[in-house]
Homo-oligomer: A and B are copies of this chain.
Amino acid sequence: MPAQRLFLDAGGRAPVTPRTADALRAGLADGWADPARLTAESRRARALVDGAREAIAEAWGVHRDNVHLASSVPFAVERLLTGVFTARRGRDRIGVSTIERDLVLDTADFLAPGAVDRYPVDADGHVDIDAVRQGATHPGTALIALQHGNHEIGTLQRLDAVADITEPAGVPLVVDATATIGHVPAPERWDALIADPADWGAPAGLGVIALGPRTRWLPHWPEGSDPWAPGGVSVPLALAAAVALQEMLEGMEAEARRQHALVDRMRAGLARVEGVHLVGDAVERLPHLLTAAFLYLDGEPLVTRLDREGIAVGSGSACGKAAFEPSHVLAAMGALTHGNLRIGLHPGVTEADVDRFLAVLPRVVEQVRQSMTA
């Protein structure tokens, strides 16, 4: 009998829980009508969306009116950066770290061609605070976009130190929390926040934005009922997102401890493989993510062979344009960019699963290395 599939590629996507699947069903049964209309059916759909926003806002300690559901995460990033940038008329530079997501970097380049300042990171992936300070005090800086935690290597940024700089400088701090919400406590100091329900266990298809009460923002696109979600969001997806977040938060502390220990166990096991480099901060990190870079091999055959053994892992740029584009995150950190493997744990992964992975991996690495020199 073949061993059960082992899914270790849960950065951003994972099987949904029964409770979340039920929420999607309920959202479809009660929320099929257009929330923008005026009959009982529409009022019910509107109440579901409002309730979902309310639940998410409450989890973050902000007011519901400051939370917006968007059609997708990239759309949320694009509209948010565009809106904040446009409101800062006369300032034309954008500051980012070198290890932001592709979609943040691409949007910044689109808005401020040739005027995106890339702040370097140290060997563990923490952004250079001096570079942030220089950027924040530059009179041309319209906004600074930094991630809460990295989607590939798991390193958590020290956002308190960053906010200590951006707040007095009056530069809006846009925080990309798409890899962290639901896994660790939400960041507290930001002018705008972006989150990804699919990363906290909801079905993919929504983005979430929170705006600080004083954050200025100007639209720069065709008019419409909802700038964050032209045409409105899917009611079932909104309900499922709120329920999945609630479920994650209920168990977050214990689950974070458990996953942190599992990744420690994995790091210890992987460290015994020849020619491996464990990337990112071993302590100040997301509990569930791990990237390892291997000498003398490519990521694609590694993923493919593990897949055939029944184990799903990631590689390449976690959320890049192509699954095997070399990771700019690893490049920015001076790590090997080709032979890497990215692990994302979800609540269903056990210690026995980790041990199974660790038992299989050295043989597969050896096979890939041999096939590449053959």
Contact = CB atoms under 8 A, between A and B. Distances in A.
22 contacts: A7-B41, A9-B41, A15-B32, A21-B25, A21-B28, A32-B204, A33-B312, A37-B314, A38-B300, A38-B303, A39-B303, A39-B307, A41-B312, A71-B75, A73-B230, A75-B231, A78-B230, A103-B224, A103-B231, A109-B222, A204-B232, A237-B237
A74 B229 CA distance: 9
Contact of A39 (B16, B222, B225, B312): B312
Given A28-B203, A39-B307, A234-B237, A222 B21 contact: no
Interface string A1-32: 00001010100111110000100110011001
A223 B106 contact: yes
Given A37-B314, A75-B71, A203 B234 contact: yes
A75 B233 contact: no
B40 A5 contact: yes
A240 to B, nearest CB: 9
A16 to B, nearest CB: 6
Given A72-B231, A103-B230, A107-B222, 13 more contacts: A9-B33, A15-B32, A33-B312, A38-B300, A38-B324, A41-B312, A74-B224, A103-B222, A110-B222, A204-B234, A204-B235, A207-B231, A223-B321
B231 A39 contact: no
A314 B15 CA distance: 39
A347 interface: no
A236 interface: yes
Contacts of A16: 28, 32
B21 A33 contact: no
A127 to B, nearest CB: 22
A290 interface: no
A370 interface: no
A39 B72 contact: no
Closest 8 CB pairs of A and B: A74-B230, A205-B234, A39-B312, A110-B222, A72-B231, A71-B71, A106-B222, A74-B231
Interface in A63-82: 71-75, 78
Residue in A21, A102, A205 whose Cβ sees the most chain B Cβ within 10 Å: A205
A38 B306 CA distance: 11
Interface in A292-308: 300, 303-304, 307
A349 interface: no
A198 to B, nearest CB: 8
Contact of A37 (B5, B15, B323): B323
A109 B354 CA distance: 56
A298 to B, nearest CB: 12
Contacts of A303: 38-39
Interface string A227-248: 0011111111100000000000
Nearest to A223: B106
A39 B313 contact: yes
Given A74-B231, A75-B71, A224 B40 contact: no
Given A34-B12, A224-B106, A230-B75, A40 B307 contact: yes
Nearest to A225: B321
A72 B344 CA distance: 29
